[in-house]
Structure 1
Amino acid sequence: MKTIVICSGGLDSVSLAHKIAAEHELLALVSFDYGQRHRKELDFAADCAKRLGVPHHVIDIRPIGAHLTGSALTDDIDVPDGHYAEETMRSTVVPNRNAIMLTIAFGLAAAQQADAVAIAVHGGDHFIYPDCRPGFIDSFNAMQAHALEGYADVTLFAPYVTVSKAAIVTDAVKYGTPFGETWSCYKGGLRHCGRCGTCVERREAFHLAGVTDPTDYEDPDFWVAATHAFAAQEVR
């Protein structure tokens, strides 16, 4: 299956890129610059493409991102600290982000005669992000079947959509994913903050998976209190 992977440079998408490279035919990585404050993640995506020996396409959609206002990821709004399932994390939603990115990626895939576009949405995203849920994935797949009918046959591949981030870490170990060469923090500082929702989820995932976390956090212990009120299971 000739596949293009949407890769932000984060743990999930880099893990997916390594998985696809091992199990299928990885054609390219595609990343999007939408004006995110943590744009440094794109450097990690570029490194991943170089490591896997495939092209890296960076699509500049900053003019579009400038109109998707109200998100802590793009506007002058503080990124909230805490658990990724907390209501405050809604401020990190970028409206219709995945739908926009996937539409462009499907056009690229059709032009390059790819069989699939792969995206690393997962079960932990379901709390806050509607465009990461199974219903969205299924509906987008159906829509693209009509959009490309008679021209190309491209499938949306989302192997993590029903599993946890901890399960991704467990799976990624099999493919030698270099976890230290990924970027998650929404604040985009010199180090992972350890306090934003995605840092908390990252730290928790390694703990639940029983895998050593190589990440250097400014606050390495905040996740314990942040996850205390939320039930999660160790991966066994």
Structure 2
Amino acid sequence: MAGDSSETAAVLTSGGVESAVLVATMLDRHARVHPIYVRCGLRWEDVEMASARSFLAAIARDGLEPLVVLDEPIRDVYGPHWSTDGPEIPDATSPDEAVYLPGRNLLLTVKAAVWCRLRGVSALALGSLGSNPFPDSTDEFFQGLEGVLSRAMSGGPRLLRPFAGLHKPDVVRRGAGLPLELSFSCIRPVDGLHCGRCNKCAERREGFRQAGVVDRTRYAD
């Protein structure tokens, strides 16, 4: 993605490693960058959002706009579910399919894209990886969604996925000079820390290990 240094872009920000590195990457390529966090009412969001704010403050420079927080409540749709307040949170031994949240990319992207359209922001970047196995993370899905958004709003932001050909260790290496310990990837936080035992903590640890980058994350275990 070459980018336009005069263009304003937005980044769908989750607080995790990928979106943290993506914000910094987009800031190198665009005049102004709006980080957008979509709050759905999931169990880890308070810690995740606080981490996102800490990371953004640590990399702050001209062109980085304040964090935009949008609300997209999902509890009434998911019902009793591990991501809201249900039991059986996927642990380190759980397969990736166990952490799939149906429709999540669709809901987050649509909400953020409408925000962009109403403010003349021409590009919306997402930190989706090539290793993501879910149906709402494919090239075909995002190409189709971009077309639907454009038709629905008589124009809309381009959906950019600079990391679509990468895996987590690739992104960790790209962000090795950033304060990645301030990013957050846990689905069962303990006293504001990564639990160290859930599926996402295991994925995070393995990403740093494979990248050969020191993991300065604080884990509760």
Does the TM-score normalized on the shorter chain lie above 0.5? yes
Question: What does 1:1-236 correspond to in 2, within 5 Å?
Answer: 1-39=7-45, 40-50=47-57, 51-52=59-60, 53-62=64-73, 64-69=74-79, 71-83=81-93, 86=95, 89-126=96-133, 129-149=134-154, 152-173=155-176, 176-190=177-191, 191-219=193-221
The C-alpha deviation readout for 1:24-59, integer Å capped at 9, x for no partner, is: 233311112111111110112223343434121111
Instruction: Give the distance between the partners of 2:215 and 2:78, measured in 1 at CA.
Output: 34
Residues 218/44 of structure 1: CA separation in 2 closer, same or farther (3 Å cut): closer
Instruction: Give the distance between the partners of 1:59 and 1:216, measured in 2 at CA.
Output: 28
Task: Give the drift of 1:96.
Answer: 0.7
8 Å Cα contact 1:71-1:91 kept in structure 2? no
Task: Give the drift of 1:10.
Answer: 1.2
Task: Give the drift of 1:82.
Answer: 2.2
Residues 33/41 of structure 1: CA separation in 2 closer, same or farther (3 Å cut): same
Bigger RCO (CA 8 Å, 6+ sep): 2
Instruction: Give the distance between the partners of 2:79 and 2:141, measured in 1 at CA.
Output: 22
Structure 1 unpaired stretches of 5+:
220-236
Task: Give the drift of 1:203.
Answer: 0.7
Task: Give the drift of 1:204.
Answer: 0.8
Instruction: Give the distance between the partners of 2:170 and 2:33, measured in 1 at CA.
Output: 25
User: What amino acid does structure 2 have at the position aligned with 1:205?
Assistant: G
Residues 165/71 of structure 1: CA separation in 2 closer, same or farther (3 Å cut): farther
| RMSD between superposed Cα atoms in Å | 1.9
What is the count of residue pairs matched by the alignment?
209
- Once the two structures are aligned, what percentage of the paired residues are identical? 27
User: What amino acid does structure 2 have at the position aligned with 1:157?
Assistant: L
Task: Give the drift of 1:83.
Answer: 5.0
Q: TM-score, normalised by structure 2?
A: 0.86
8 Å Cα contact 2:116-2:156 kept in structure 1? no
8 Å Cα contact 2:124-2:160 kept in structure 1? yes
Task: Give the drift of 1:153.
Answer: 4.3
Instruction: Give the distance between the partners of 2:138 and 2:67, measured in 1 at CA.
Output: 26
Instruction: Give the distance between the partners of 2:218 and 2:91, measured in 1 at CA.
Output: 17
8 Å Cα contact 1:5-1:26 kept in structure 2? no
8 Å Cα contact 2:55-2:179 kept in structure 1? no
